[in-house]
Amino acid sequence: MKLTEKDKTFLETLKTLMNSKDLWVELKRDEPSRMILRGTYGNKIHRAFRMTRQGARWRFWRLFNDIYVSAFESILFVERVFGPQLREYAIRISKERFVLRQDMTRVGFRSAEEFGESKGRKRRNSADSDSSCQAKPGA
C-alpha cells in the first residue's frame, strides 16, 4: 500500500505535535499489540490536522498499525522463506525509489517519454558497474 500526499502531511504534522509533547505514541499490549495515539486532543489537533479527532485516530491507525506493521510482516515472511540475504537489495531499491519520488515532486510533470529516455541512458551506463550486484545462493 502506498502513502498518499495526505498521509505525508499527516505524518509531518504528527511529528511536529510529538516534538512539542502534545501527542505521543504508546504500545497497547493486547493480543495482538498495537500502537495508540495519546495526548491532548482538542482545538489544536483539529486546527493542525484539519480533521476531526476521530479522523486523526483513523489515519494514525491506518498508517501505523496497518501500513507500517504490515510492511514488517511482509518482510518477516519473505525473509523466513528466503533468508535475509536479499535485504540489502531491497533497502537499496527502496532508497532509490524514495529519491526518485522526491525528485519527481520537485521537478513536477514530465512526459513519460522524457522520463524513460533519461532513465534508459542511466541504466545502460550503470549496467556495467552493477554487474557485481548479483544474488548468490546460500550467501
Q: For 58-98, how does the pLDDT look when each residue is reduced to its tens digit (9 = 90+)?
A: 999 999 999 999 999 999 999 999 999 999 999 999 999 98
Same structural domain, 69 and 97: no
Inside any domain, residue 70: yes
User: Number of C-alpha atoms within 13 angstroms, CB side, residue 27?
Assistant: 5
Same structural domain, 101 and 77: no
Same structural domain, 75 and 88: no
| pLDDT at residue 92, rounded to an integer | 96
Between 83-92, 96-105, 118-127, the lowest mean confidence (pLDDT) is in 118-127
| pLDDT at residue 67, rounded to an integer | 95
Only one residue has cell 522463506, namely: 81
Same structural domain, 78 and 88: no
| pLDDT at residue 60, rounded to an integer | 95
Give the predicted TM-score (pTM) of the model.
Answer: 0.67
Total structural domains within the chain: 2
Inside any domain, residue 134: no
Domain residues for the domain of 115 are: 84-129
pLDDT tens figures, 30-62: 989 999 999 877 777 888 888 888 889 999 999
Same structural domain, 72 and 11: yes
Q: Which of 134, 42, 123, 47 is nearest to 85 (CA)?
A: 134
Rounded distance between C-alpha atoms, residue 5 and residue 25, angstroms: 22
Paired with 27 in beta bridges are 35
Same structural domain, 89 and 73: no
Same structural domain, 1 and 64: yes
Please report, to the nearest 10 degrees, the dihedral formed by the alpha carbons of residues 62, 64, 68, 72 taken in order. Answer: -120
Same structural domain, 78 and 101: no
Same structural domain, 75 and 123: no
Cα dist from 39 to 18, 22, 24, 27, 49, whole Å: 9, 6, 6, 14, 14
Same structural domain, 64 and 54: yes
Inside any domain, residue 135: no
**Sign of dihedral through CA atoms 91, 93, 97, 99?**
positive
In this prediction, residue 124 has a pLDDT band, given cuts at 50, 70 and 90, of: low
| Residue 81 and residue 73 in contact, taking contact as beta carbons nearer than 8 Å | no
